[in-house]
Structures are given as C-alpha cells and as structure tokens.
Structure 1
Amino acid sequence: MNTRTESDAFGPVDIPAHRYWGAQTQRALDVFGAAEERFPSALVHSFGLQKHAAARANRACGVIDPRLADAIEAASTELSEGKWDEHFPLSIWQTGSGTQTNMNANEVIANRANELLGQPLGTKSPVHPNDHVNASQSSNDSFPTVMHVSAALELTGHLRPVLVSLQASLDERACAFANTVKIARTHLMDAVPTTMGRTFAAYAHQMAAAISRIDAALPQLMLLVQGGTAAGTGLNAPAQFPELFCSELATGTGLPFRTHPHKLEGMASHDALVEVSGVLNTIATSLLKIANDIRLLGSGPRCGLGELIIPDDGLTSSIMPGKRNPTIAEVLVQACFQTMGNHQTVTLAGASGLFELNVAKPVLIYNVLQSIRVLSDACRNFDERVVRGLQVDALRLATNVENALLSVTALNPVLGYDAVARITALALREGITPRAAALSFGIIDADQYDRMVDPARLANAK
C-alpha cells in the first residue's frame, strides 16, 4: 500500500496515500481500532455544514483570509454533499467528546482545501486543520453543535414527513371504514359494537400527537453551543462569532438555529437530546400498538381474527407453502424495540455529564440518529405496503357482530343488569345468539330487541 508521511506534535505518521484524513485520524485508528459501529452519514454531512458556517463566520470576523475561507467553504460543501464519506473511518468508540471525529473533519477539509489550492495531500499549507478549519472552535462546542444539527435535520427531513404521510393514510382508512361495524375488544375479550373507522381514527390521532411531540422538542435542538469553545469559556473565539455562525447555518439549512444562552449547559449536559429520544420512545410506543393491532386483526386467514386483510408482500414460509405472514408489521415492531432500547442508552449517556463536559457524546448521538432512521424507514414501508392497502373482511365482521354477546348491554336501562347477564349466560352456554336467548325468556319482544340492539346504531352512538 502506498503511504505518505505526515507529522503532528507527536511525530511522523504513515497514512494511506489516497486518504484525505491526517495524522490525528490515523493515530485514532491505531489507538481505538476498527469497529462496525460508525457514525451515520447524517452526522458526517452535518460536520460539513458546521465547518462551512464556521468558515463564513471566521471570514466575517477577520480570522481567516478570504482566499483560505473560499477553499474551506468549498471543501465543506463537498463534505456536506456526501463526497468524502469514505474518508471517515473512525468508529463511535472514541473519546467521549467526539474529538477524533472533529479532527477527522478538520483534516479531510484541510487536505481537500489545499488540493483545491494546488497543493498535495498532507501539506497542511496554506490551510491548516487546526489553525484554519477549526478556527474559533473546540471539539467541546463543535461536536455538540453537529449533534443538534444532524438530529434536527433527520427529524424534520425524514421522520416527521413519514409520520405526516402515515397519519394521512390512517385517516383515509378511517374514512373508508367509517361505516364498517365491528366488535370492540377490551381485556382481549368481546365488548360492545364500534366501527373499524373509529379504531383507525384513534391510530391517526396517535400519529398527530407524535408529530406534535416532535414539533415541541425541536426548539431546544435549535440552540447551538458553537462559540463556547473550551468548557464554555469562549476562549479564542471572537465575541460576534456565535451569532454569525448561527445566522450562516440557519441560512444554509433553512432551520432557525440560534446561539445557546448558556453554552456550558449545552456541553456539560444533553438534556435536549434526551428529550428527543424520549419523544422517539413515545412514538415507538404508539407505533408498536398500531402494528400489533393490525397484525392481530389480520391474523388467519382461517383460524385467526381475520377482520383485516393485510396486503400480500409476496413472501412466504420456508416450509409451509403459500403461508403469508405480516412481515412488514413485524419489521416496524422490531424497529420500535430498537428505539426503546436506544432510549435507555441515551438516558444513561445523557446522565454522564461530568463537571464541564458530557463524555458520552458519540454513543448518545449514534443511538438518537439510529432511532430516527429505523423508525423512518420502517414507518415508510408500513405506510406504503400495509396501511394504504388494508381492506376489511366484511363477511367475517358481520358474523362476529351477529354472534357478539355484549351488544345486549344496550338492554341494561330496560331490563336491568342482572336480567341481561342471564341472557348472555344462556347464549354462551347454549351456543345461540343473544337475540335468541333474550326472546326465549319472554321478557322482551323481537321488535323491541331489534330496535334497541342495533349494532350499527350502537357503534355510532355518541
């Protein structure tokens, strides 16, 4: 393998010649080793946005020569667009401040900027990774800023739109099933008549609430600690840098980022991201309920509930020919499990702020971003391949409604609780309909029964 040699404060380091990272990244690879858990591209791209905004702010403050700033901004834009993803080899298992990945970004951008200025990789001149790309910054404030930016962009650009679409699909099914009578179940047992439309309207309301929870959590993500540098002191950063940085980043992303009023709080703790993870945990709880309901209502086709017909995904059993399983709903269930587990990790990591710095940043943001991604992907598939194609088995529902015992609850005001209990007991014991049981006692005539125990009327009772 061809290598080049770079030097830093600790001496020379051999680096693969075609790689854009530098000495500190190579040292980190040697120290921490390789691992499968790497930061997702969303975080790497957010570093490009962060370094771009920092370069523009530094230019405005007179910290960086305009010619160097131009090159840094161009290289940072390429990074944000995904051109240099393969040059971020580090795992999340690194220093708890995320310093190594911040340095990785500095080195890649510096090398690319120098290349744009006609210099070979590894020169550190005229653009230096620390003196120029990292000017007015520290890992203490850069990494938390990127954490917020990546989480905000993933929430607004991926998960929230997916939930909006899923809510719309659930609303559409609620309308389609508005007049489809079914028997409600409480404690897993038959209850009173309701409609399938009401059931799906409840699911849609859960998604509306999920969207509202995201919206409520976003303002805290808009607060950025950039400019706090080391331990929130602002050392080596011009006074106007934080405001200029946030203005540039807001312009570049379209999100209303603003400077954090107390930067040390945003470095020493990550309560805003723990809150976001809590929202994701709640959303996962809602989705788990919906996915489980749908796969249970669609169980069968002959020996289950069979009230819903789940679209065929073309997959089958390895041993039972023609067997159809609710695979896509199962994927969503597993994504919810993952998110719930991630929230425990995020909670512990968020509680690991020690004095002036939280030192569990990499694992914290890794889990937040993974939760957003798996929920987004699973929800999109569930929406497109399951919810939009759901149908009801009208015959199965009609049979269930006819045989349901608890419709006679509507007779309580006329016959009293005990008399109605005798009707349901007889119907269950003899295997007859509750109507037949009620008429056999001679305490109500057929016309009155049919008028009072009308499942469609009861299902739509206000």
Structure 2
Amino acid sequence: MRIEKDFLGEKQVPEHAYWGIHTQRALENFPLSGHPVHSNLIKALALVKVSAAQANMELGYLDNDTGYAIIEAGSEIAAGKLADQFPTDALQGGAGTSTNMNVNEVIANRATELLGGGKGQYLVDPLNHVNMHQSTNDVYPTALRIAAIKMLLPLSEQIAELQDVLQQKEAEFAGILKPGRTQLQDAVPVTLGQEFSGWAQAVARDRWRIYKVEERLRQVNLGGTAAGTGINAPREYIFLVIEKLRQNTGIGLARAESLIDVTQNADVFTEVSGLLKAAAVNLNKIANDLRLLSSGPFAGFAEIRLPEKQAGSTIMPGKVNPIIPEAVNQVAFQVIAADLAITMACQNGQLEINQFLPLVTYNLLQAIDLLGKGASILAYKCVSGITVNEERCLELVEHSLITAPILMPVLGYAKTAEVVKYARREKVTVRQAVKDLGYLSSEDAEKVLDYHLMARPGSADKPLREE
C-alpha cells in the first residue's frame, strides 16, 4: 500500500493501482450497484482529457513534456488499455466527480510513469495538469454525449439488420394465407408475409429515428466549466478544445450556443431514451406475436415454427420453449424501465447542474447495449430460422369464419350474418353455408371465396359484384 493525501486527510491506496486517493474514497463511499462505470464513458472521458491537453499545450498552458505524457496516457485509455483501473461504481453521488477524478488520477499516474516516476509521485498532477481548465460539470456530460453517439450508430445498424431479415421472411411467406386476428379473435384473412411486413415497417421507423437522434447529442458544453459560464477557462481554450475534440472523436461536435443551458438541462437524454423505449416497445410486440403464432405445437396456434435452440424443461422431456423471444421481451422490459429512471434523473436536476447524470449514464448506455444485442439475437437466432406450417394455416382459414366478410359486397351485411350464424350452428365452412342457404351457386361461391384474393386490396371489386 502507499499513502496519499488530500485536504480531508490521508488514505492507503493499493501500491499497484493507477488510481489515487479520490478514487479510493469513492470505492468506500459508493458500494452500490456492483457495476463499474461503462467502458465507453471512460474512453470518451479519456478523449476529452487528450483534447484538453492538446489545447492547453498549444496555447502554452502546459509544457511539452507534461502535455505529451497526458496525451499518450489518455490515448492508451481511449484505446482500451488499463481498463481494470476504473473500479468506481456506476451509481455515485457528486454528479460524476468520482469518475472524472478516477480518469484524472489514472492518466496522471500513467503519465508520471512515462516521465520516469512511480505511482503516487504525481510528476503530472491529476487536478492542476490533467483537469486543467475543466470541471466535472462540462467534461462528464460531454463524454456521455460522445459515448452515446458512438454506440447509437452501431445500434441503428443492428436494427437495420433485423429489418432486413424480417423483409426476407415477408417475401418468403407472401403467398401463405392465414387467419388475421383482432383482440385475439378471428378477424379476416391475411398473409403471413403481410404480418412480417408490419413488423419490418415498425423496425424501419426505429432504425431511422435512432440513426437521426444522435445529431441531437452533438452540441456539447466543454469549456463551460462549473456552471456554463466558463470560469477559470481562457476564452481561446474554450474555442480550441472543441476543435481538438472534434478531430479526436471523428464526430461533428459543436460548442452549444448556450453552455449554461447544456450544463443545466439533460432533456436531450430523455429524448434519446424515449426513442430507445419506442424501439423496445416494437421489439416486445414482435416477440409477443412470434410466441403466440408458434404456440403449441399441438394445442396452440402453431402457424409458424421457431428454431429449436435448447431443451425447455427438466420435467417434460422433448419440450422446446420460445427462449429467444422471451429473452427479447426481457430486454424490452429493462429498456422501458431504464427510460423511467432516466426521466426521473433528468427532471430532478437543480439550478446550475444535474447531479444525477451517473444514473442517466448507467441506464442510457446499458439500454443501447441491450437493444442492439436483443435485435441481433432476434434476427439471427430466431427470425432467420422461422418456418411455416402451411397445412395448419390453411386448416384454420378453412374451418374458421374469417372468409365471411368477403361476402358483404355481394350479399350485404344481414345475409352475411345469416351465413355466419348457419356455419356456426351446422359446423360447416362459410363456402358450404352460402351454398346450403342458396345465396350463391357453387360456381359463384368459388369466385367470391377465392382465398388468394382475400388479402389483397380491391378484393370487393369483382366481376360477380358488377354482374
């Protein structure tokens, strides 16, 4: 162990650790979730520190040796090195100060090593050098925006892949007629392809919304320091550091018109989370529908077959469950729950800052992760392997009353209702009922009750009606 000091006193820090006394205090103060801060936030913070060092060195506020050591150490962290040196809990008081100091200390100790010193000697100081012209209140929300942007674009691609797989199935099942259901009751004929097309269109909207929403995160408050006023940050630094950050991230970031606004308000994260929730709602709906349509396989709908992935029961041999849709359901529930936590955190900021950004970070980045993985397993472990039970679909169409509405343009509502009543009572098909009642000849019944026309627009526009 080594001894480090701050204005509160002394504390022992593990000799091997690149972190210091501020991080050590945070480890003792916040034994909460058991989950460390998301690695993408750490990488983003490291890029902010690199950018700040570049700006400060270029402007003459940091000497070259110190500046280059900070840049090299920060670049290593941004590349994923020293990942085990960021142990602070994801949930923490202090608006993210513990995370900011954890990054400051690790960079300072690694930079000190690069200059020939040992851990704890601080030839490069965490606050005076690494944190120069910065505050947690501008670097933390800036890093959160960068992390979210870098994660949202891959998420959009994963959702696009799900859309593509759904559209492939839409084409494959275009000719499979089956019962449509409203309120879980028999309704009118649809094709299985049409059902897949509905899911694909919903996912397409999600893909586009998530692709576009990252633009809302590009305005950052870096340079605003504690409250957005830029106190203790030179004017020339405020403009230059954004330019450096844009170069280092490859993202079209811009200084917010009002640094005070972006420091105070976190509504943009609520907006992003809301679109993640919308995507979760659609994934949940699709997963539910797949479980229903595959239910059985003998005592349920049994219209489709999901890929069999693992044994489903320890007491019922041979049972296989819809485990992928069930997992996606749980992903959706968690993302929706995360949205509530984000909403509560964003609305409870007070005056000049929002002190609950660690909770926003924890839930937002986790939700992006989960949604991407959920969309991928749904696409490649479930939808791509779905097959259809054509005999079952045809049987359900034949022996239900869903074909009756097609008679209305020919017979009218009242007579069609009589056909339905007769078919129920006599337990015959609609085709047979309309013949038995003498409303249509066998030839005309075949024309009107052409299953393949029933799910197409213009089904009421038939020669028989004109005659």
TM-score exceeds 0.5: yes
Counterparts of 1:241 and 1:184, CA distance in 2: 63
**Conserved? CA contact 2:170–2:194, under 8 Å:** yes
1:252 paired with 2:241, answer no
Partner of residue 362, structure 1: 358
Which letter does structure 1 place at the counterpart of 2:205?
A: A
Alignment of 1:164-175 (within 5 A): 164-175=160-171
Alignment of 1:225-240 (within 5 A): 225-240=221-236
**Conserved? CA contact 1:34–1:90, under 8 Å:** no
Counterparts of 1:214 and 1:241, CA distance in 2: 33
**Conserved? CA contact 2:294–2:300, under 8 Å:** yes
Counterparts of 2:33 and 2:455, CA distance in 1: 56
Counterparts of 2:33 and 2:338, CA distance in 1: 19
Counterparts of 1:211 and 1:218, CA distance in 2: 12
Is the partner of 1:357 in helix, strand or coil? coil
Counterparts of 1:254 and 1:384, CA distance in 2: 31
Alignment of 1:203-242 (within 5 A): 203-242=199-238
**Conserved? CA contact 1:38–1:90, under 8 Å:** yes
Counterparts of 1:324 and 1:340, CA distance in 2: 28
* Superposed CA offset, 1:255-298 (max 9, x none): 21111111111121101101011011111111111111111111
Counterparts of 1:188 and 1:34, CA distance in 2: 44
TM-score normalised over the length of structure 1: 0.96
**Conserved? CA contact 1:195–1:460, under 8 Å:** no
Gaps of 5+ in 2: 459-467
Is the partner of 2:403 in helix, strand or coil? helix
**Conserved? CA contact 2:37–2:99, under 8 Å:** no
**Conserved? CA contact 1:345–1:364, under 8 Å:** yes
Counterparts of 2:173 and 2:246, CA distance in 1: 44
Is the partner of 1:192 in helix, strand or coil? strand
Partner of residue 129, structure 1: 126
**Cα distance 1:132–1:66, how it changes in 2: closer, same or farther (>3 A)?**
same
Bigger mean CA deviation after superposition, 33-42 or 287-296: 33-42
Bigger mean CA deviation after superposition, 446-455 or 271-280: 446-455
Which letter does structure 2 place at the counterpart of 1:178?
A: A
1:378 paired with 2:369, answer no
Pick from 301, 307, 319: which aligns with 1:305?
Answer: 301
Pick from 149, 152, 165: which aligns with 2:149?
Answer: 152
Deviation at 1:306, TM superposition (A): 0.8
Deviation at 1:37, TM superposition (A): 3.2
1:323 paired with 2:319, answer yes
* Superposed CA offset, 1:282-330 (max 9, x none): 1111111111111111111111111111011123211111101000110
Pick from 77, 80, 83: which aligns with 1:79?
Answer: 77
- Count of aligned positions: 458
Is the partner of 1:273 in helix, strand or coil? helix
**Conserved? CA contact 1:423–1:438, under 8 Å:** yes
TM-score normalised over the length of structure 2: 0.95
Alignment of 1:254-293 (within 5 A): 254-293=250-289
Deviation at 1:35, TM superposition (A): 4.2
Alignment of 1:14-53 (within 5 A): 14-33=12-31, 35-53=33-51
Partner of residue 140, structure 1: 137
Is the partner of 2:439 in helix, strand or coil? coil
Pick from 422, 425, 428: which aligns with 2:424?
Answer: 428
Deviation at 1:461, TM superposition (A): 2.5
Counterparts of 2:349 and 2:190, CA distance in 1: 50
Gaps of 5+ in 1: none
Is the partner of 2:235 in helix, strand or coil? coil
Which letter does structure 2 place at the counterpart of 1:219?
A: E
Counterparts of 1:176 and 1:28, CA distance in 2: 56
Deviation at 1:184, TM superposition (A): 1.0
**Conserved? CA contact 2:270–2:342, under 8 Å:** yes
* Superposed CA offset, 1:141-172 (max 9, x none): 01111111111111113x11110111111111
Bigger mean CA deviation after superposition, 21-30 or 323-332: 21-30
Counterparts of 2:120 and 2:318, CA distance in 1: 60
Counterparts of 1:160 and 1:70, CA distance in 2: 36
Partner of residue 7, structure 1: 5
**Conserved? CA contact 2:156–2:208, under 8 Å:** no
Partner of residue 385, structure 2: 389
Which letter does structure 1 place at the counterpart of 2:195?
A: T
Deviation at 1:398, TM superposition (A): 1.2
Which letter does structure 1 place at the counterpart of 2:437?
A: F
**Cα distance 1:237–1:315, how it changes in 2: closer, same or farther (>3 A)?**
farther
Partner of residue 176, structure 2: 180
Bigger mean CA deviation after superposition, 44-53 or 420-429: 44-53
**Conserved? CA contact 1:55–1:133, under 8 Å:** yes
Is the partner of 1:406 in helix, strand or coil? coil
The runs of at least 4 consecutive aligned structure 1 residues that moved more than 3 Å come to none
**Cα distance 1:96–1:351, how it changes in 2: closer, same or farther (>3 A)?**
farther
Is the partner of 2:310 in helix, strand or coil? coil
Which letter does structure 1 place at the counterpart of 2:80?
A: G
Which letter does structure 1 place at the counterpart of 2:91?
A: W
**Conserved? CA contact 2:404–2:430, under 8 Å:** yes
Deviation at 1:382, TM superposition (A): 1.2
How many percent identity over aligned positions? Answer: 38
Alignment of 1:344-363 (within 5 A): 344-363=340-359
* Superposed CA offset, 1:40-81 (max 9, x none): 212122212221222222222222222222111111111112
**Conserved? CA contact 1:61–1:238, under 8 Å:** no
CA RMSD in angstroms comes to 1.4
Which letter does structure 1 place at the counterpart of 2:365?
A: L
Bigger mean CA deviation after superposition, 260-269 or 434-443: 260-269
Is the partner of 2:81 in helix, strand or coil? coil
Partner of residue 407, structure 1: 403
* Superposed CA offset, 1:100-146 (max 9, x none): 11001000000001111111001111x11111111111001011111
Counterparts of 1:344 and 1:422, CA distance in 2: 51
**Conserved? CA contact 1:193–1:456, under 8 Å:** no
Partner of residue 194, structure 1: 190
Partner of residue 104, structure 1: 102
Counterparts of 2:30 and 2:194, CA distance in 1: 54
Which letter does structure 2 place at the counterpart of 1:365?
A: T
Bigger mean CA deviation after superposition, 133-142 or 63-72: 63-72
* Superposed CA offset, 1:371-428 (max 9, x none): 1111111211111110111111111111112223121211112211011011111112
**Conserved? CA contact 1:217–1:272, under 8 Å:** no
Deviation at 1:93, TM superposition (A): 3.0
